[in-house]
Chains A and B, each alone.
Chain A
Amino acid sequence: MPRTRTPVVAGWFAGDGDDFRLLGTRCSACASVFFPREDAHCRNPACPGGALEEAPLSRRGRVWSYTDSRYRPPSPYVTDPELPWEPYTLIAVELAAERLVVLGQAVPGVTVADLAVGMEVEVVPGVLHEDAETIWTTWQWRPTGVAA
């Protein structure tokens, strides 16, 4: 039986290939953008609160900072304790149009040695982990080759 592909969080991202986007929301009254999505009420204290509409975020941004996880994170991060720990890289990315910073894992194989603050990266679909029934999908950041 084929395994299903399920987003690790529903509604945070959608699309395939070049159409892949993080999904935030935008307040129709004050234009504030929220990611993770805010669906109940605008959090701008100066805003009376408008309808919150889904807003795909910019695909590309610049590295605000980065680090890695040299030790196995605790649950609920899912890892196979039978396998040796493979560090992965975390990148905080500044999106110019939305004026916010979004954290994400780097695509596999990208290490801190490949990165610099200010470097351009783009969001791509990725796999967080897999089990017998499900491929859990997520977003990942990938350098575009454009330097800082």
Chain B
Amino acid sequence: MAADGGGGMTEEVAVLGAGMHPWGKWGRSFVEYGAVAARAALADAGLEWRDIGSIVGADTVRGGYPGYVAGATFAKALGWQGARVTSVYAACASGAQAVNTARAQILSGLADVVLVVGADAAPKGFFRPAGGDRPDDPDWLRFRVLGATNPAYFGLYARRRMAVHGDTPEDFAQVKVKNAALGALNPYARYRKTVTAEEVAASAVVADPLRLLDICATSDGGAALVLAGMEFARRHRAADPVRIRAVSTVTPRYPNTVLDLPDIATDSAVAVRPAADTFRESIARAAYEEAGIGPQELSFAEVYDLSTALELQWYEDLGLCDEGEAAKLLREGTTTLGGRIPVNASGGLASFGEAVPAQAIAQICELTWQLRGAAGDRQIAGARVGIAANQGLFGHGSAVIAVR
């Protein structure tokens, strides 16, 4: 196995079902959102919950104990039926790690068909660390010492792009305009209204240079997938299912020289030369290597637009364009519906807000619907290969490649 976590190409797993609970601020328990999404995914797969041999839950840190054992929490809500249970947490990549856990069970022969569920109920305002005095916790320290919220980090990245690549606040606003127009076409999105560049410019600055409409909200939502081995899929008469070809969940490599949440400083590069590619680039590269395809073969991408500026960063990290060329790609219309490589046809986090453990699963739901040709008004013509990418706190990130 390579030092980057890649081990060459793996077998595929089939996506038999995808389901979501609409994103919003519904004021109910994450369990309810997850159960609704799970039942929708099972119905989509044409399977009964009793047919499922394994359930993997993506945990939430905001639901108390039931959130830390999400797999069991969802299994109980659906009705105990004896399935193998797993619960995983990996910050924003929790959903992707849940998918990867299910995939590993299928490919190792531990399970034929696995239900993956993630859901969250988000508080109003900024995410904040767990309570109590915990001076050994970097997430607690960044708030205590600096008051550095997530949007503060997004602001730092955005300003850096402006200085290094010449991006402008107008470029950032155009990401929101694009994603809002696409989200308006998605019945699962929380925000379903088009937004103008003037409206972005008129919204309040949160963390200079980013404004309220540049930054994704925190949302309630739930998403679920039914995954199976190719042999099970054939027996189940799913002749041409969407297949997951790669799941990358690599960690950074020392020294990690890009300031990451929730850190107060980067690693030092004084003794060890940094790798040629950054952490985000390495996440994508590991997925490309595992899938045996390159960025030029993608039909579309779903990326983690925690801010408008971060969406542009992903264009470069995924290899959709050269470094510094992302704003040009956006301005040319390459990344919108009808362009060569639409990005966030779902509307992205700009239209959903972030429901942490559900978000990476929701990205794969979108890949599935697009690859089936079932995405309605936001359908990408001829979608054959899609990538979903994300990054979160504490060295987590993921990239998933699906094909049909």
**With known contacts A65-B163, A68-B155, A75-B128, A138–B268 Cβ distance under 8 A:** no
B contact residues, range: 35 or more
Interface residues of B in 141-186 (CB under 8 A from A): 141-149, 152, 155-160, 163-164
- A63: nearest chain-B partner, CB-CB: B163
Residues of B close to A92: CB separation below 8 A: 156, 259
How far does the alpha carbon of A74 sit from the alpha carbon of B218 in the complex, in Å? 15
Residues of A close to B125: CB separation below 8 A: 74
Judge whether A36 and B264 touch: CB under 8 Å. Answer: yes
- B274: nearest chain-A partner, CB-CB: A99
How far does the alpha carbon of A34 sit from the alpha carbon of B388 in the complex, in Å? 33
Judge whether A103 and B128 touch: CB under 8 Å. Answer: no
- A93: nearest chain-B partner, CB-CB: B265
**With known contacts A70-B206, A76-B133, A76-B140, A46–B145 Cβ distance under 8 A:** no
Judge whether B259 and A97 touch: CB under 8 Å. Answer: no
Judge whether A31 and B141 touch: CB under 8 Å. Answer: no
Interface residues of B in 322-338 (CB under 8 A from A): none
How far does the alpha carbon of A92 sit from the alpha carbon of B204 in the complex, in Å? 23
Residues of B close to A32: CB separation below 8 A: 255, 267-268, 270-272
Residues of A close to B126: CB separation below 8 A: 71, 73-74
How far does the alpha carbon of A73 sit from the alpha carbon of B141 in the complex, in Å? 13
Q: How many contacting A-B pairs (Cβ < 8 A)?
A: 145
Residues of A close to B210: CB separation below 8 A: 67
Residues of A close to B374: CB separation below 8 A: none
How far does the alpha carbon of A76 sit from the alpha carbon of B209 in the complex, in Å? 25
**With known contacts A65-B156, A117-B163, A73–B147 Cβ distance under 8 A:** yes
Judge whether B163 and A100 touch: CB under 8 Å. Answer: no
**B110 adjacent to chain A (CB < 8 Å):** no
Judge whether B270 and A97 touch: CB under 8 Å. Answer: yes
Judge whether A69 and B268 touch: CB under 8 Å. Answer: no
**B254 adjacent to chain A (CB < 8 Å):** yes
How far does the alpha carbon of A84 sit from the alpha carbon of B159 in the complex, in Å? 27
Residues of A close to B149: CB separation below 8 A: 69, 71, 73-74
**B29 adjacent to chain A (CB < 8 Å):** no
Residues of B close to A135: CB separation below 8 A: none
Residues 306-330 of chain B: 1 if any A CB is under 8 Å from the residue's CB, otherwise 0? 0000000000000000000000000
Q: List 17 interface pairs A-B (beta carbons < 8 Å), by A numbering.
A: A36-B141, A43-B267, A64-B160, A66-B159, A67-B158, A68-B208, A69-B207, A71-B206, A99-B268, A100-B267, A100-B268, A100-B269, A101-B257, A103-B148, A103-B156, A103-B259, A112-B208
Residues of B within 8 A of A (CB): 125-126, 128-129, 133, 135, 138, 140-149, 152, 155-160, 163-164, 204-210, 254-255, 257, 259, 264-272
